[in-house]
Amino acid sequence: MLKKLCLLLAVLFIIANFAACGQSGKTDGSASSGTTKTSDSSGTKPATSTPGTKDTKSSDEVVTFTWFRPQINRNAIVYWNDALWVQELEKRMNVKINFEGPLVGATSKDYIQAVQILLNSGDYPHVLFFNWNNYSGGLAGAIEDGIVLNISKNEDYWARLPYWRELLESNDFIRRSVTLDDGSSAIFCHVEETTNRSCYNGYAVRGDWLENVGKSAPTTIDELYEVLVAFKQMDSKIYPMTDESGSSTVNNLLPAWGLKRNVPYPDPDNPDKLTHWTVYKNGQAFTDFITTMNKWYKEGLIDPDFASQDWDSRSAKMTTGVSGFSYLLPQQYTAWKDAIVAANPDLKGKVYFLGLEPLIGPAGKKYNTNNMRNWAATTAGNVITVRAEEDGVVERILDVINYLYSPEGTDLINWGVEGVSYNVKDGKKEWSELVTNDPEFSFGDAVFKYAIPTWGDWPKIMSYEAWLSMETKDPDALRAHQNYLKGDPGLSMPAIVLTQAESEEYNRIMTDVNTLVDEYFVNLITGVRPLDDIPGLLEQIDKIGIERALEIYQGAYDRYMSK
């Protein structure tokens, strides 16, 4: 009896399985949602593949669409739909947005993997945020492959974006960043109101230590050296300069020598030509830099753990008085000061971090690594996929995006709702009590329940004012930011897009080059490798093909500049 039952179940089970197999076999190998190519360049409105006319929804109807992007995932708020500004946006535009996407950050491998699977299997959301450098062939490739809608090619669509078009027409930098080689534009990204915001990070030194050794803020590399030596003399256990794996402190000294790490950048002596840090001045600048760092290391000015520490260890060194010079982000000014005071209450009011102007080195200019020519968020942005067209929601989505670029929308996304999250006093906006005095969360966390005053990869215009009020709330951080602004943007590069063939070759060469240089870099500074190895290193890099890589990149750069 039992056996007969099992037999029956088994037969049913197997039939079900093969049915499933059959179905999957049918659709395997093709994008499930139809492959209507809507990317033809003739500009005519393409036909939708769904039966019945799913035309523009009337503006009374609530349109629902999906937006795939990382969830906000902050201390005070996890899902986008809980944010005040999103709820308000939905009300004003009569839409309902279903946010899909993981909790992790957009640059994380998890997110990239999740999106790549989406794209490669044909399951597109309506709107997608992605950095198209991570798609083989880039954004142009995605349009050609029939995934992304090329909005500017369609007159009706393009007509619905007056604010966005205005932005492009008024600012060449933005226009170049968001258009493809053929001049069309399909991406909607975050745009800066002023490039000042890119100078949010830079060097800082412990102000109280400077006072102790009786020196003023260093402005050149040589002066920095003196300061570090003086710090070391305070106590032999001190390693004045500290860093972490990924080397932000050491790396960001490179511009003083006219160098930039790992990526091609405009040659300071010849700005139309691109160079690489191993190639600039025939490798002499590179050699000088390493030699100087090696000297500093030998004199005990650099923390021996500098290349292998993690963020927490570096924080610990800066807050326990082991180090006094490093590269800071705005909230570290407050966080570290508070941590020092918590452990040493007698330093309250005395300890502070002093932000420095970019240092001048052998290159003679205040070069820095902040991307001061960056008006738009490079190659990462939001696109509308063909699925939106099939579901007939494109028009409303465009309306939403256009709204976000309007002055009203800018206020909404950067500040929230007037009277609730912000108030206007004498023409100046300030955050309301609700935001600044949140009982559970600090201001920096609470504000995200209501608005996004910082970057967030949304189609929006940044509000410099909102950003300042949030990230440089600490007066030290504000002062530092103003110092960082004094840098020279000569080494800045726009975001270049390579074709698939170009990027395959370029990546193959550069992964090898970067691996080799990165490896030698630390070992040369710490003295594990002798400095005589540098010529050999440069020769090897040449053999791997750095000149060819530069050539490829130069070609793409020229294409970009001629747009």
Partner 1 sequence: MNHLGKRSLKYRIVRDFKTNYFVYILALICLSYYFIFCYAPMGGILIAFKNYKPTKGIWGSQWVGFKYFEQIFSSYFIVRLFRNTLLINVYDLLFGFPAPIILALLFNELTSTKFRRVVQTVTYLPHFISQVVICGIIVTFLSGDGLVNQILNMLGKESVIFLQNPRYFRTIYVGSGIWQNVGYGTILYLAALSNVDPQLLDAAAIDGCNRFMRVWHVTLPGITPTIIIMLILRIGNMMNVGFEKIILLYNPSTYETADVLSSFVYRYGLLEGNFSYSTAVGLLNSVINFTLLVAVNYISRRVSEISLW
Partner 2 sequence: MSKKGSSNWMYGRRSLGSKIFDTFNVLFMIILMIITIYPFLYVLFASVSNPLLLMSHQGILWKPLGFTLKGYMLVLRNAGIKNGFLVTFFVVIVGTACNMIFSLLFSYVLSRRNLMWHSVITLLAVFTMFFNGGMIPTYIIVRDLGLIDSLWSLILPGLISTYNVIILRTALRSVPAELEESAKLDGAGDLRILVSVLIPVIVPTIAAITLFYMVGHWNAWSNALIYIKTPTKFPLQLVLRSILIRNQTEGAMSGEAYYAPGEDYAARMLLKYSTVIVSIIPIVCVYPFIQKYFTTGVMIGAIKG
Contact status: 330 vs partner 2 (CB under 8 A): yes
Of 75, 284, 437, 515, the residue at the interface with partner 2 (CB under 8 A) is: 75
The listed partner (partner 2, partner 1, none) that binds 64, CB under 5 to 8 Å by sort, is none
Which x/- pattern, by CB under 8 A, does the window 260-289 give for partner 2?
--x---------------------------
Near partner 1 by CB under 8 A, which window of 6-14, 41-49, 201-209, 473-481?
Answer: 6-14
Residues 420 and 416: their CA atoms lie apart, in Å, by 8
Contact status: 511 vs partner 2 (CB under 8 A): no
Helix, strand, or coil (residue 401): helix
Total residues contacting partner 1 by CB under 8 A comes to 60
Contact status: 120 vs partner 1 (CB under 8 A): yes
Contact status: 146 vs partner 1 (CB under 8 A): yes
Residues 363 and 280: their CA atoms lie apart, in Å, by 11
Q: What would the two tokens of residue 530 be?
A: 């002798």
Helix, strand, or coil (residue 97): strand
Near partner 1 by CB under 8 A, which window of 153-161, 207-215, 433-441, 501-509?
Answer: 501-509
Which x/- pattern, by CB under 8 A, does the window 8-37 give for partner 1?
--x--xx--xx-xx--xx--xxxx---x--
The total of other beta-carbon atoms located within 10 Å of residue 426's CB is 5
Contact status: 35 vs partner 2 (CB under 8 A): no
Near partner 1 by CB under 8 A, which window of 165-173, 220-228, 304-312, 418-426?
Answer: 304-312
Q: What would the two tokens of residue 442 be?
A: 């600090």
Contact status: 371 vs partner 2 (CB under 8 A): no
The listed partner (partner 1, partner 2, none) that binds 304, CB under 5 to 8 Å by sort, is partner 1
The nearest distance, CB 453 to partner 1, in angstroms, is: 29
Is the Cβ–Cβ distance between 351 and 206 less than 8 Å? yes
Is the Cβ–Cβ distance between 537 and 529 less than 8 Å? no
Which x/- pattern, by CB under 8 A, does the window 529-548 give for partner 1?
---------------x----
- Angstrom CA distances, 475 to 199, 210, 472, 481, stand at 16, 18, 7, 10
Residues 197 and 201: their CA atoms lie apart, in Å, by 9
Task: Give 362: exposed, middle or buried? Use CB within 10 Å, 0-12, 13-18, 19+.
Answer: middle
The listed partner (partner 1, partner 2, none) that binds 504, CB under 5 to 8 Å by sort, is partner 1
Which x/- pattern, by CB under 8 A, does the window 193-232 give for partner 2?
-------xx-------------------------------
Q: Which of 238, 217, 236 is nearest to 226 (CA)?
A: 217
Handedness of CA 77, 78, 82, 88 (dihedral sign): positive
Contact status: 432 vs partner 2 (CB under 8 A): no
* Beta strands 325-328 and 202-206, pairing class: antiparallel
Residues 436 and 235: their CA atoms lie apart, in Å, by 41
The nearest distance, CB 506 to partner 1, in angstroms, is: 8
Near partner 2 by CB under 8 A, which window of 70-78, 141-149, 401-409, 491-499?
Answer: 70-78
Residues 400 and 356: their CA atoms lie apart, in Å, by 41
Q: What would the two tokens of residue 535 be?
A: 């010529």
* Distance of alpha carbon 279 from the chain centroid: 27
Q: What would the two tokens of residue 107 be?
A: 């640059």
Q: Is 237 left (phi over 0), alpha (psi -120 to 50) or beta?
A: alpha
The nearest distance, CB 154 to partner 2, in angstroms, is: 28
The listed partner (partner 1, partner 2, none) that binds 56, CB under 5 to 8 Å by sort, is none
* Distance of alpha carbon 503 from the chain centroid: 20
Q: What would the two tokens of residue 401 be?
A: 């995006």
Contact status: 293 vs partner 2 (CB under 8 A): no
The nearest distance, CB 214 to partner 2, in angstroms, is: 26
Q: What would the two tokens of residue 486 be?
A: 């004094």
Task: Give 59: exposed, middle or buried? Use CB within 10 Å, 0-12, 13-18, 19+.
Answer: exposed
Contact status: 324 vs partner 1 (CB under 8 A): no
Handedness of CA 446, 450, 452, 454 (dihedral sign): negative
Residues 127 and 404: their CA atoms lie apart, in Å, by 15
Of 102, 141, 266, 555, the residue at the interface with partner 2 (CB under 8 A) is: 102
The listed partner (partner 1, partner 2, none) that binds 35, CB under 5 to 8 Å by sort, is partner 1
The listed partner (partner 1, partner 2, none) that binds 87, CB under 5 to 8 Å by sort, is none
Of 175, 522, 542, 554, the residue at the interface with partner 1 (CB under 8 A) is: 522
Binding site for partner 1 (CB under 8 A): 3, 6-7, 10, 13-14, 17-18, 20-21, 24-25, 28-31, 35, 109, 112, 116, 119-122, 133-136, 145-147, 245-246, 303-305, 307-310, 312-313, 503-504, 507-508, 510-512, 514-516, 518-519, 521-523, 526, 528, 544
